[in-house]
Amino acid sequence: MRARLETYEKQTAPIVDFYQKKGNLLTAEVSERCGRMAPELAESIIEDFRKKGLI
């Protein structure tokens, strides 16, 4: 587990910060969406991207 956290901090966290600073990072509460079927979730993500002008 420690190795996974170290990898996250070294490799993933900087990418998250990069996109967050650019305003291109979308997040979602898993508890709200975990019960949705894949097509509905995908459409929700696409709509979020449209609202932000990313697509």
What's this model's pTM, rounded to 2 decimal places?
Answer: 0.50
Residue entry with tokens 């449209």: 50
Q: What is the pLDDT of residues 12-47, one digit of tens each?
A: 999 989 998 988 887 766 665 556 567 777 888 889
Report the alpha-carbon angle 42-48-54, nearest 5: 105
* SS3 at position 35: coil
Q: Taking a C-beta distance cutoff of 8 angstroms, is the pair 49, 55 a contact?
A: yes
The tokens of 20 are what?
């967050």
The tokens of 52 are what?
């932000």
The pLDDT of residue 53: 86
